[in-house]
Amino acid sequence: MTRITITGGRPLHGRVQAAGAKNAALPILASTLLGGGECHIANLPQVRDVATMNTLLSLLGASVKQEGTGVVIKADSVQSLEAPYDLVKTMRASVLVLGPLLARFGEAVVSLPGGCAIGPRPVNLHLDGFKKLGATIELEHGYIRAYASKLQGQRIDLEMPTVTGTENLMMAACLANGTTIINNAAMEPEIEDLANFLNARGAKVSGAGTSHIVVEGVSQLHEAEYRVMPDRIETGTFLIAGMVTGGDVEVSQCIPGHLDPLISKLRESGAEVHETSDSIRVKAPAKVQALDVQTCPYPGFPTDLQAQMMAMMCVAEGTSVITENVFEGRFLHVPELQRMGASITVDGARAVVKGVPQLTGAQVMASDLRASAGLILAGLAAEGETQINRVYHLDRGYERIEDKLQSLGAIVHREPASA
């Protein structure tokens, strides 16, 4: 167990490079199970969730070899069709192997993801979609068992635009008989990235990135080389870090268009923003202004930047409002921010944040991945020392975060929690 200690109050200045996107890497890695041959996947972020997915693929029988910051995966045969509880409990996205295994081998067994710190996160829409494609689904002993001799293309109308649900069904449909249409599909850029990889392997997916995806089934997928897109959430986190500390931060090798909702909110709060085709630079104003932010599925403001934005609002001038529309109960960072002197009241899905002149360092506890990022940003802005415990949440999704923050001038280091 380690913790991160930050001595706050220093404006961050400089440039960092965006890592590959965790939420694109995970479905792309899972989709290697759809066929044989060597898949070379580059620009993987060096984060724990990616390592967990690679472990899961190895456990299923795929060969996974490191290649620089990427991997070479060969899934010509698999020895197991089961994603066990011990892995799934550490990463819900393990459920992404369900679609590929079911479509290619006619069977898959995946532990139910179960409870999660950011509210109930069911997978009912994934399962309803698989049933629509002709699968039999049984839930027993905490596991999902799915069977289908051959999936059949169908029209699926998603009740809600679930991101991993859209990905799971899109992957499964690649090997189904006939055409599958996914309506009300999630439109996140990571879904388009997955579709590009699938198409590079010979799949016929169109419309990914819109709410209407059409997949024409093919008999098999072949090998391919692919480079994972940049991480828009990591990019946004560093830009907000610049804002919260009154600094000037540039993120290179990113895709600015993926961050439009954040950029317009940062401008509204007084930031000076410069964009090129692959970089964003944000200069903080003398005083960040309060904002009204509502999280929504893409292209709305991402829920995965909500905690970071709240940290900024804590020190903004005026009263801000955040409405969390995607995940019920995703405010676990609030009590921790309050321990640092923030003035926040929560009423259901709405948090009202009254800006204070200064946060003060404290010992806080990370509850989930993005909440941890919010606490890091609050610590960077706070006067004095902040200790963030349970940083393993952070390591699931941020690559070398202390190194990158140090390169921007932050005083931050990691130490054993017992020290």
Sites of contact with ligand UD1 (CB under 6 A): 23, 26, 92-93, 121-126, 160, 162-165, 186, 190, 303-304, 326-327
Measured distance CA(256)–CA(114) in Å, rounded: 35
Pull the structure tokens for residue 312.
């900024």
Residue 68, beta-bridge partner list: none
Contact yes or no for 70/32 (Cβ under 8 A): no
**What is the smallest separation between the CB atom of 335 and ligand UD1, expressed in angstroms?**
20
Burial of 79 (0-12, 13-18, 19+ CB in 10 A): exposed
**Residue closer to ligand UD1 (CB basis): 233 or 391:** 233
**Residue closer to ligand UD1 (CB basis): 20 or 355:** 20
**Residue closer to ligand UD1 (CB basis): 27 or 247:** 27
Q: DSSP labels for 293-339?
A: EEE-STTSB-GGGHHHHHHHHHTSBSEEEEEE-SSTT--TTHHHHHH
**What is the smallest separation between the CB atom of 233 and ligand UD1, expressed in angstroms?**
7
**What is the smallest separation between the CB atom of 313 and ligand UD1, expressed in angstroms?**
19
Q: Which is nearest to 320 in space by CA: 296, 354, 346, 287?
A: 354
Active-site residue, 296 included: no
Q: DSSP labels for 268-287?
A: HTT-EEEE-SSEEEEE--SS
Query: Choosing from 39, 116, 174, 314, which is the catalytic residue?
Result: 116
**Residue closer to ligand UD1 (CB basis): 117 or 273:** 117
Contact yes or no for 5/412 (Cβ under 8 A): yes
Structural element, H or E, at residue 403: helix 401-407
**What is the smallest separation between the CB atom of 274 and ligand UD1, expressed in angstroms?**
27
Q: DSSP labels for 47-93?
A: -HHHHHHHHHHHHHT-EEEEETTEEEEE-S--S--EE-HHHHTT-GG
Measured distance CA(261)–CA(258) in Å, rounded: 8
**What is the smallest separation between the CB atom of 189 and ligand UD1, expressed in angstroms?**
11
**Residue closer to ligand UD1 (CB basis): 186 or 241:** 186
| Residues marked as catalytic | 116
